[in-house]
Amino acid sequence: MMFEARQAEKTDAPFSSQQYAAKDQKVSRRKEGSAVQADQVETDWAALVLRVRDHQDRAAFAALFRHFAPRVKAFLMKSGADATLAEECAQDVMATLWQKAHLFDPSRASVATWVFTIARNRRIDALRKARRPEPEELPWGPEPEPDQAEVLEAQQDTERLGAALAQLPEKQRALIERAFYGDLSHSEIAAETGLPLGTIKSRIRLALERLRQQMS
């Protein structure tokens, strides 16, 4: 059919799909390098989401898909979904990323964090079939041109947390993982994570204060 043919054409558009793929691979190699380079890498994901948002860039989307879909699938399988359901839901999550790219605010959260919240909500729908009330949205961002320093900070927060998670004693990390995979009931979730959450909290807190001042 013509429609499908047109889609295929778009999907295989030669101009950037391969470029992004190459970048993607470079990314995973660079990740093993210094922290500074790793930060650079995280910023790239945010830039790709913005390309999806601003230009409906399918090649950027494909790069995001290749990186995040297998992670979302693994997350859902660890949460108790079988491979078929996890694959389906990972597709849903990525389609949601496409549709809701305009809601992503790179100065508030990393792409990984944003994708996590989409995956979490999809899991609640699929596995628990419950509603999840969300907090009131604030009349802020995402701004058309986010402050690059803030974007970098948001991505670095996730990097730092990842490093801190890796350094936790095995038992403690397992407990946090179980909390996020739904293996713990809410009453079993421990108060102390041992993670450096204070910096992230302060960053968001400052941004909120600024917003409140602008509003008043």
Rounded CA-CA distance 47/45 in Å is 5
Q: Write the burial class of residue 58 (CB in 10 Å: 0-12 exposed, 13-18 middle, 19+ buried).
A: buried
Cα(44)–Cα(172) distance, rounded to whole angstroms?
A: 31
Of the two residues 149 and 163, which places its CB atom closer to another protein in the complex? 163
Nearest-5° angle of CA 49, CA 68, CA 131? 90
CB of 207 vs another protein, minimal distance in Å: 8
Q: Is 51 in the site for another protein (CB under 8 A)?
A: no
Query: Up-side HSE of residue 216: CA atoms within 13 Å toward CB?
Result: 6
Binding-site residue total for another protein (CB under 8 A)? 88
Omega before 142 within 30 of 0, i.e. cis: yes
| 187 sits in which H/E element | none
Site for another protein in 65-124 (CB under 8 A): 65-66, 68-75, 77, 83, 86-87, 90-91, 94-95, 98-103, 108-110, 112-117, 119-121, 123-124
3-state SS class at 185:
coil
Closest C-alpha to 87, from 96, 97, 98, 75: 75
Q: Is 20 in the site for another protein (CB under 8 A)?
A: no
Nearer to another protein by Cβ, of 26 and 83: the residue is 83
Minimum Å gap between C-beta 83 and another protein is 7
* Closer residue to another protein, CB minimum distance, 149 or 191: 191
Closest distance to another protein from the beta carbon of 148 (Å): 19
The reply on whether position 4 binds another protein by CB under 8 A is yes
- The interface with another protein within residues 21-40 (CB under 8 A) comprises none
**Which of 5, 82, 132, 170 lies at the binding interface for another protein (CB under 8 A)?**
132
**Which residue, 108 or 151, is less far from another protein as judged by CB?**
108
- Nearest residue (CB) to another protein, 9 versus 149: 9
8 A C-beta contact, residue 10 and residue 58: yes
**Touching another protein, residues 143-172 (CB under 8 A):** 157-159, 161-162, 165-166
| Closer residue to another protein (CB): 5 or 149 | 5
Evaluated on CA atoms 45, 46, 52, 57, the torsion sign reads negative
At its nearest, how many Å lie between another protein and the CB of residue 90? 7
